[in-house]
Amino acid sequence: MKKMKAVIPAAGLGTRFLPATKAMPKEMLPVVDKPAIQYVVEEAVSADIDDILVIIGRNKNAISDHFDSVPELEVRLQQKGDHGRLERVMKSSDLADIHFVRQGEPKGLGHAVLRARTHVGDSSFAVLLGDDLIDERDPLLVDMIAAHERTGAAVIALMEVDPSQIHMYGAAAVDETDTDGVVKVTGLVEKPAAEDAPSNLAVIGRYVLPAKVFEILERTEPGKGGEIQLTDALQELAAETDGPGVVGVVFGGRRYDTGDRVDYIKAIVQLAADREDLGPGLRPWLKEFAERL
């Protein structure tokens, strides 16, 4: 079977992180010692994906440079005998076959995904949003790909959130299925007010989509915020009665949101505290710090 390709939309303006994102895309902000986008690329690679298309906006050079090799740096680390760092530096240029396409005007997530049409062609594909980091110890994408292969449906990742938070996400109306952790999605609304939300199941940024979604996106009108929303295209698929529709994989693992400043800081602290090389130095200080608060 042909391997699935992945699409990573990375054309957002990163307004919440200005001025850090004035000359650098937000996907390049470091999470401990790797840019956020590298975690997402590594996640795709660990789901057996080796062809990745990044949809870029302005300031794209930092992203493409990051996934390129830097011979001068490699030679220098080699000379210094710093093999650990050398390996880590080379890893980012050796992960996968990474391609880039420009979004042009930023007209929303649906529009960004539509820019992948030529590269993806007629096959199903995965979409991974860089603001959501999924802990590598809690795999999600492999389960979503399996659900897609089993059902032929578009597969979205869902997570229970506090009802007061649902206005920041796509929200899903669902029915149970015979499979634990897999639900049938009967409706989707982009960023509803708490009182209008069909549930507290939020769409998190992982999707496995049939190529048919491109046809729908072609005619999807701007929705919430005047943008072409992927959620609206998926709502159309969910409403179809003669196809496999949309299913949701409910994720109960560790997810870090790097799109919001406070959550970004939490992500860094949690990931660093868990690491073997940094945790022992950080954890005792964290305890002490927390006591002082």
CB of 38 to ligand G1P, least distance (A): 18
The residue within the footprint of ligand G1P, chosen from 14, 35, 130, 205 (CB under 6 A), is 205
Report yes or no: 185 and 208 within 8 Å, Cβ to Cβ: no
Burial of residue 290, with CB atoms counted within 10 A of its CB: 0-12 exposed, 13-18 middle, 19 or more buried: exposed
Considering the rule CB under 6 A, would residue 27 count as an interface residue with ligand G1P?
Answer: no
Segment near ligand G1P (CB under 6 A); pick from 29-37, 39-47, 51-59, 197-205 = 197-205
- Which helix (H) or strand (E) covers residue 95, if one does? none
Considering the rule CB under 6 A, would residue 169 count as an interface residue with ligand G1P?
Answer: yes
The residue within the footprint of ligand G1P, chosen from 51, 143, 190, 232 (CB under 6 A), is 190
The residue within the footprint of ligand G1P, chosen from 8, 155, 202, 249 (CB under 6 A), is 202
List of long-range contacts for 111-117, beta carbons under 8 Å, 24+ apart: 111/217, 111/227, 111/228, 112/9, 112/11, 112/55, 113/7, 113/9, 113/55, 113/209, 113/213, 113/214, 113/217, 113/230, 114/214, 114/217, 114/218, 114/228, 115/55, 116/7, 116/53, 116/55, 117/214
CA distances 217 to 24, 221, 283, Å, are: 29, 8, 47
Segment near ligand G1P (CB under 6 A); pick from 22-30, 44-52, 61-69, 225-233 = 225-233
The residue within the footprint of ligand G1P, chosen from 231, 237, 255, 264 (CB under 6 A), is 231
3-state class of 156 per DSSP?
strand
Segment near ligand G1P (CB under 6 A); pick from 38-46, 172-180, 200-208, 236-244 = 200-208
The residue within the footprint of ligand G1P, chosen from 109, 140, 166, 182 (CB under 6 A), is 109
Q: How far apart are CA 231 and CA 153, in angstroms?
A: 15
Place of tokens 């072609």: 218
CA distances 54 to 6, 51, 61, 139, 225, Å, are: 8, 10, 12, 21, 23
For ligand G1P, the closer of residues 59 and 229 by Cβ is 229
CB of 112 to ligand G1P, least distance (A): 10
Judged by CB under 6 A, the chain residues 118 through 157 that form the site for ligand G1P are: 129, 131-132
CB of 248 to ligand G1P, least distance (A): 12
Binding mask 244-283 for ligand G1P (x = CB under 6 A): ---------------x------------------------
Query: How far from the centroid of its chain's Cα atoms is residue 265's Cα?
Result: 18
For ligand G1P, the closer of residues 77 and 140 by Cβ is 140
Considering the rule CB under 6 A, would residue 203 count as an interface residue with ligand G1P?
Answer: yes
The site for ligand G1P (CB under 6 A) is made up of 109, 129, 131-132, 169-170, 190, 202-205, 229-231, 259
